[in-house]
Amino acid sequence: MSEASWDRSQCSVAGTLAVVGEKWSLLVLREASHGVRRFADIQRYTGAPKAVLTDRLATLVEHGILRRVPYQAEGERQRHEYRLTAKGLDLVPTLVALMEWGDKYLADGEVPPMALEHRSCGAPVHLELRCDEGHELASAREIHAVPKGAALSPR
Amino acid sequence: MSEASWDRSQCSVAGTLAVVGEKWSLLVLREASHGVRRFADIQRYTGAPKAVLTDRLATLVEHGILRRVPYQAEGERQRHEYRLTAKGLDLVPTLVALMEWGDKYLADGEVPPMALEHRSCGAPVHLELRCDEGHELASAREIHAVPKGAALSPR
DNA sequence: CCTTCGAGGTTCGTCGAACGAACCCAGCCG
DNA sequence: CGGCTGGGTTCGTTCGACGAACCTCGAAGG
């Protein structure tokens, strides 16, 4: 897709993976994006061990992807829940990308287990690669990657 | 984004992560998508330890995301290189999603280190959430997720 | 009061995966 | 022959994931 020699040290793919690339982080975000907010529910739905989950939630909060919000259920003491921030919401396309790939290649002839609809019109939602001229890219092969800025120094 | 109780066991996000969610896999695919094909180059650019890289390449080949292609450089013995298959190319949107998030939130005021251009018109390429009616979604909040098929059984 | 309950953790011992350094192996080159 | 180079494998150590058990706070029940 491009010729190869540039500085990877500040690559955004690597940077993002350093933040959310650990084993359970994206599954936690999947739950958050489905509106699951409570520790025990996240644990139940993801299957992550408690200690790991505590740690992942803490890093996600630290990075401003989730925030801890106190709440009070009636007849309960005050607890807190985890909600997506705007920064966290912007990771949804990543989840959708993973989901679409899985739907295409992992479904054993089954129907995909989850459909995404446009809330206002009900039509199915999907991800598109598109350029500023408005062309939709039929394949990733139409992408040309160009290193910029500080990445230009080789190695 | 939706109410919470359905069967996660065959979620496509989890399934895809089981295939490419390990620490170095997506970085290997980043290199593959940039046209880096040789073991030593992939190792140099990703920084993955050799043993781990051997293992990841093997799993990616096993899953049909990369294929081993024999080649012959002049004055060299026959070796093989790793190339993206169509199935692997379809992971590029995932990489782009990670990259766009990193560009937006991790750039310390720097210019993003890599630009993607439409090969045929040169305009910048980006990912869009769009529905079949043609509406572009301004935010992931406009998505409504609906469990289907075998996922409908709770828990 | 004292006990129980349950959410949201923390601690601990074990065990597997990741790490880096060292080694191996097959050709081609001189 | 001996060395070099790409593509690995082996090995000992370290680090993180795991699951079970324990802790803590506040509300409610007796």
pLDDT over threshold 90, residue A72: no
Quick check: B40 CB within 7 A of strand D?
yes
Q: Dig out the tokens for B69 from the structure.
A: 């292609």
CA angle, A64 as apex, B104 and A41 as ends, to 5°? 125
User: Where does residue B126 rank: exposed (0-12), middle (13-18), buried (19+ CB within 10 A)?
Assistant: middle
Tell me the per-residue pLDDT of B19-29, one tens digit each, with 9 for 90 and over.
999 999 999 99
A114 contacts A106 by C-beta, under 8 angstroms: no
Q: Report the residue from B1, B11, B27 with minimal CB separation from A14.
A: B27
Contacts of A30 in chain B (CB under 8 A): 11, 13-14
Please give the structure tokens belonging to residue B94: 């995932």
For residue A77, pLDDT beyond 90: no
Smallest CA–CA separation between A140 and chain B, in Å?
6
* Domains, in order of start, for chain A: 3-151 (1.10.10.10)
Q: Write the pLDDT tens digit of every residue in A96-141.
A: 999 999 999 998 878 899 999 999 999 999 999 999 999 999 999 9
CB neighbour class for B32 (10 Å; exposed up to 12, middle 13-18, buried from 19): buried
Question: What is the rounded distance in angstroms from the CA atom of residue B141 to the CA atom of residue A32?
Answer: 12
Residues in chain B closer than 8 A to A101 (CB atoms): 12, 16, 90-91, 93-94
Per-residue pLDDT at A9 exceeds 90: no
Q: Which among B97, B103, B110 has CB closest to A94?
A: B97
- Per-residue tokens: B28: 């290997």
- Would you tell me how many other CB atoms lie within 10 Å of the CB of residue A147? 21
CA A105 to each of CA A21, A31, A97, A108: distance values in angstroms, whole numbers, following the listed order: 21, 22, 12, 8
Residue-wise DSSP of B78-137:
EEEEEEE-HHHHTTHHHHHHHHHHHHHHT-SSPPPSEEEEETTT--BEEEEEEETTSPBP
Kindly state the tokens that stand for B139. 């935010």
pLDDT recorded at residue A10: 85
Q: Highest mean pLDDT: which of A1-10, A103-112, B11-20? A: B11-20
